[in-house]
Structure 1
Amino acid sequence: MNETIIAKLVQTVVPEPCFTKIFTDFELFNVDCLKIIISKCLGYSIILGSILVKLPQIIKIMQAGSGKGISMLSCVFELLAISANAAYGYQHGFPFSAYGEGVFLGIQSAIVIVLVLLYGGRTLGGILFVLLYTATMGFLISPMAPKELIAAMQGANIIIVMASKLIQAYANYSNGGTGQLSGITVFMLWAGSLARIFTSIQETGDTMTVVTYMAAFSCNCVLVSQMVYYSKKSKTE
């Protein structure tokens, strides 16, 4: 029984037929299987990391008691992109390792938006936002959601992702600094989007998903560069 449980756990990262090829036929250096294993490991690592990726941002806002420097429009666009991608992956039956971080990032992104609203004195807006977002996600992952709608949302994701990142980048430029934006969160999102390019190619083969992550990575490079630049600038002043 224990061996069966262990085998099933191993198969989450070494699915068939690779499980048989490696552990029965001892094809330890099968290139195709190694790609799948690397992709699975990266995918689940990203999901584990996503559980905490925005926690530094949330803590920073709560400690400051302010959402200063956080672009609400950027946050909303980012949440739209994350949610659309998660719904697209779920509705298309992709492996959870290919889109699972969207669930945790969506929750944390929603918390960031709520905190910004609360600290901005808009408590009712925060409550209404939670109700609206919960209802929307419930609909998008339900059988009632038209496949055409999900596909259209994913298609628009490239523009939404780029808009969310570049709006924040412009806010940083306008403010002459990054405010309460967390450098740890920005870097983790940058690393995650880079890894997702590979896992999306390997596990989904979906061009739209791959291009979306490529766009996210490119824009995250801009935010990382700003974090480095403004961090050095503040130290020299």
Structure 2
Amino acid sequence: MASELDVPLKRVLVPLLLPEKCYDRLFVQWDLLHVPCLKTLLSKGLGLGIVAGSLLVKLPQVFKLLRAKSAEGLSLQSVVLDLVALTGTVVYSVTHGFPFSSWGEALFLMLQTLTICFLVMHYRGQSARGAAFLAFYALLLLGLLSPLTPSAVITLLQASNMPAVVAGKLLQAATNYRNGHTGQLSAITVFLLFGGSLTRIFTSIQETGDYLMAGVFVVSSLCNGLIAAQVLLYWNAKIPGKEPKKEQ
């Protein structure tokens, strides 16, 4: 006979982490070695963890820009291409009805990347251009999410994520190499993005079965790994004009 805790526990777990048949298998029949259900539980848990963590992933980068009042070392083209890739993932996932746990972090990262785009333009003295960019982007996003947009266009947008990710990260890597430092690039953000993209390879295959989406995360992991390696390489490099103050 089910315990009194079973019903409220089921109400929480079934919609969030498990289909009902897996809940029954694991928590009613106590078949704790049922691999398919364990994989589902792991995937959902990791997915929701990434979504929750994504609220903070790029905030260190935003705060670093605000604190320094400078976008030194950041490639605007790289940030824009990152925004294109995230937008493609969001639009593709929404139109295909994928579970939020499999793509939700892309939504929050998209909003944070959009903020970074504006800040880079603002600190380069292009605030009006930044405002116009925000307005254009909002209209474009509404258009892509409209039922009038052909599905072929959405699929093409998602397929373009791979070259967008590669080009964007290589531009940032080239900027880092040319400068000999990573400037105002946030190490916390870089390493969180690297870890998140690695985890998403598993969750995207498990939850969506979409190998196009999984392939984007494979490529993203490789590119984020390159930037992470540069952060470590240039860890002690000094930014020109930012010499530490001498003690009196």
What is the SS of the residue equivalent to 2:234? helix
Aligned to 2:36: 32
CA gap 1:89/1:5 in 2 versus in 1, 3 angstroms: farther
2:8 and 2:129 map into 1 onto residues whose CA distance is: 47
2:172 and 2:12 map into 1 onto residues whose CA distance is: 40
1:141 and 1:37 map into 2 onto residues whose CA distance is: 30
Where does the alignment leave 5 or more consecutive residues of structure 1 unmatched? none
1:206 and 1:115 map into 2 onto residues whose CA distance is: 34
Matches within 5 A, 1:67-86: 67-86=71-90
2:68 and 2:237 map into 1 onto residues whose CA distance is: 21
- TM-score by structure 1 length? 0.94
Aligned to 1:95: 99
2:146 and 2:12 map into 1 onto residues whose CA distance is: 28
Deviating beyond 3 angstroms after TM superposition, the runs of 4 or more aligned structure 1 residues are: 2-6
- Per-residue Cα deviation, 1:74-123 (whole angstroms, up to 9, x for no partner): 00000000010111111111111111011100000000000111111111
CA drift of 1:228 comes to 0.3
Residue 142, structure 1, aligned to residue 146, structure 2: yes
1:27 and 1:6 map into 2 onto residues whose CA distance is: 17
CA gap 1:135/1:209 in 2 versus in 1, 3 angstroms: same
1:142 and 1:33 map into 2 onto residues whose CA distance is: 35
- Per-residue Cα deviation, 1:211-235 (whole angstroms, up to 9, x for no partner): 110000001111010000000455x
- Per-residue Cα deviation, 1:50-93 (whole angstroms, up to 9, x for no partner): 10100000000000101111100000000000010111111111
CA drift of 1:130 comes to 1.1
- TM-score by structure 2 length? 0.90
RMSD: 1.6
1:118 and 1:45 map into 2 onto residues whose CA distance is: 32
- Per-residue Cα deviation, 1:145-191 (whole angstroms, up to 9, x for no partner): 21111100111111111111111001000111000000000000000
1:232 and 1:16 map into 2 onto residues whose CA distance is: 52
Among candidates 7, 12, 18, match of residue 9 of structure 1: 12
Where does the alignment leave 5 or more consecutive residues of structure 2 unmatched? 239-248
Aligned to 2:132: 128
Q: What percentage of residue pairs aligned between the two structures are identical?
A: 41
2:181/2:237 contact within 8 Å kept? no
CA drift of 1:6 comes to 4.4
Q: Which AA in structure 2 matches 1:70? A: L
Aligned to 2:198: 194
CA drift of 1:5 comes to 5.6
2:62/2:116 contact within 8 Å kept? yes
Q: Which protein is bigger by CA-based radius of gyration? A: 2
How many residue pairs are counted as aligned between the two chains? 234
2:58/2:113 contact within 8 Å kept? yes
